[in-house]
Structure 1
Amino acid sequence: DKNPFSNYKAKVREVERVYLTEDEIQKILNKEFPTERLSLVRDIFLFSCFTGLAYIDVKNLTKSHISLGIDGEKWIFTHRQKTESASKIPILPVTQLIIDKYLEHPQCLNEDRLLPILSNQKMNAYLKEIAGICEINKELTFHIARHTFATTVTLSNGVPIESVSKMLGHKNLRTTQHYAKVLDRKVSDDMRLLKEKLGNTHTITKAKQIG
């Protein structure tokens, strides 16, 4: 005779978003891999790190998705498969190098793809190998590249959150704000380490003298 769920309130548990630091990106970027397979996976993962595109959106890219933007430079114009929202992303130099590298790749020519991407399962399996070789102590998956673009590549370098949201194809700014919270946590951790460094006897003594 009454709704058993009327007093129930759902709790949203915030997921911890893992992303790569600048040093970790450089490790992957500079590493010489023993096989062409790992080099390919590294390149496509980095492509996502510098565009913010999810696996399926990278897979769907063709040369026709590249066009000149409002500034006369090359941009990627696409729609996210997940939300069908538009993504417009200026092409950074490292992104262009990766595109140029695979321009004449047989898979790209035969299947009209921008990049010769493997299956998501294989990409993630090989990314675990890459993490081990580069001594990165994180569970590396392809989706981490998107988080890395939002945090380390853009927000950490002063790109406004509205611009980041537009490039990620978010329909709501709140979705992008989760990445800003991650950065706040990073600031907190960094300042905690600073407090520990400053909290020695010498510093305290000096502070007392100033006081």
Structure 2
Amino acid sequence: MKIGIRFKMRQKRGANAQTLHYLYCTIRVDGVQCSPFTTSIATTKSSWDSKRQLIKGYDEKVRLQNEQLNQIRDDIMGLYNDCRKQGKHVTPDKLKSLYVDKEQFTPQTLLAYYTKYVEQEKMGRCRSSTITIWKTRYNKVKEYITQELKVKDIGLSEITPKFLTRLRNYLTTKAKRKYSQTSATYMIQTIRAVLDYAVIEEVLPYNPTSSLKLIYSPKKPMKYLSEHEVQALSNYQGYKKGVKVVVDMFLIQCYTGMAYNELIALNKSNIVNNGGIDMIVIYRGKTLEICKIPLLAPAKVLLEKYNYKLPKVRNDRMNKLIKKAAKQAELERWSIITTHVGRKTCGCYLLNAGVRMEVVSAILGHKSIKTTERYYVELLTSSVSNELKRTGLI
């Protein structure tokens, strides 16, 4: 495949020796030529050297104009070489479109495709906090590439299981802010998602990192409150007004499984009646997917108390006050309680009540039932044992 890039002067009619004429660029690939496009560079007829493809002269203006012409040629050649590397069919019109219309063309590098993936696949589909997490991970990958590998970026074809293993080791042992094994694994999953996107874009034939085994930190016991602890928190009468509000909000989480951001955004319009059953209809904060939660009687009583419009309490303040309340109610494990513990408590409450796993998964808004199983497997084991003991089978 042969490519030619040449500049031609388009002369004006009735021009004199001092008239400036614009230079136009043409691209030819294997004998096929695109229509000329302007370079926005103008000079006189006598100053243009068509054979040498440059403007004659030695002053500063001429030097800058010739540098511009060389830059145009280099930029087009760079686009041509990138297309060839990606195995794409190259035409002069395609190159012209890439250069003139600034058609998006992404270099085959990790950081470039990471940015493209976030902008095209994540923006508008994920909440801002999720985008922030992706951008934070981008900065950490960039830190590894620039400070550890001493390069500006790395080609997609260079991302191998070995590269990810070294990145994982860097994150867990060398980085200024060291990551846990699980956090490092999330980073690797992020890069894998970018490579999967590159496969969809037909930049890579396959994802070369699929064989790498993911490593997670030892699983921590799940934190949740027992039914007895929830009742103790609910029945205590000595709370001050501000603390009582937070207790009510936390209890609503225990009965609905709503996350903090979903809880404070709730209003009466989220309550719909479906077949005689009141349901909370919300968009899950993480997935932005619609979710329907049956409104249990204890939650309904609490929501009606506030006319379905809960006060705005910052998450950090709510966590502080719910610990204070639990301590006043003499819960031994008061220090473990956070708003997220309320969400986990809901899952446990429903499973212990005999609600099927797939129903609990839907109420909690998990994308996959495997997520629910992973978090609640210990509880299920305990529930099975207790049930078998209750029936006298063991």
CA distance in 2, matches of 1:187, 1:48: 22
Query: What per-residue deviation string (whole Å, max 9, x for no partner) do you get for residues 64-106 of structure 1?
Result: 100112x312110011111112210111111111111112xxx
1:175 aligned to which of 371, 374, 390: 371
The RMSD of aligned alpha carbons is 2.3
2:233 aligned to which of 17, 28, 35: 28
Matched, 1:9 2:213: yes
Matched, 1:131 2:336: no
Listed as ranges, the gaps of 5+ residues in structure 2 are: 1-157, 166-211, 390-394
Matched, 1:40 2:40: no
Matched, 1:119 2:323: no
Is this contact kept in 2: 1:150–1:179, CA < 8 A?
A: no
> Over alpha carbons, which structure has the higher Rg?
2
Kindly, what percent of the aligned residue pairs are identical?
32
Is this contact kept in 1: 2:291–2:365, CA < 8 A?
A: yes
Matched, 1:158 2:354: yes
Is this contact kept in 2: 1:85–1:170, CA < 8 A?
A: no
Q: State the one-letter code of the partner of 1:183.
A: L
1:83 is aligned to 287
Say which is worse superposed, 48-57 or 13-22, in terms of deviation. Answer: 13-22
* Shift in CA distance, 158/34, structure 1 to aligned 2, threshold 3 Å: closer
1:149 aligned to which of 318, 329, 346: 346
CA distance in 2, matches of 1:66, 1:190: 36
Is this contact kept in 1: 2:319–2:337, CA < 8 A?
A: yes
Q: The residue matched to 1:132 in structure 2 has which SS?
A: helix
Listed as ranges, the gaps of 5+ residues in structure 1 are: 104-112, 195-211
* Shift in CA distance, 119/190, structure 1 to aligned 2, threshold 3 Å: same
* Shift in CA distance, 167/184, structure 1 to aligned 2, threshold 3 Å: closer
* Shift in CA distance, 188/44, structure 1 to aligned 2, threshold 3 Å: same
Q: Compute the TM-score of the two structures, normalised by the length of structure 2.
A: 0.43
Q: State the one-letter code of the partner of 1:186.
A: S
* Shift in CA distance, 2/55, structure 1 to aligned 2, threshold 3 Å: closer
1:92 aligned to which of 296, 299, 315: 296
CA distance in 2, matches of 1:2, 1:165: 35
Number of aligned residue pairs: 181
Q: The residue matched to 1:117 in structure 2 has which SS?
A: coil
Q: Compute the TM-score of the two structures, normalised by the length of structure 1.
A: 0.78
CA distance in 1, matches of 2:297, 2:159: 62
Tell me the CA shift for residue 122 of structure 1. Answer: 0.5
Tell me the CA shift for residue 61 of structure 1. Answer: 1.0
Matched, 1:57 2:253: no
CA distance in 2, matches of 1:172, 1:188: 22
CA distance in 2, matches of 1:20, 1:87: 24
Is this contact kept in 2: 1:44–1:117, CA < 8 A?
A: no
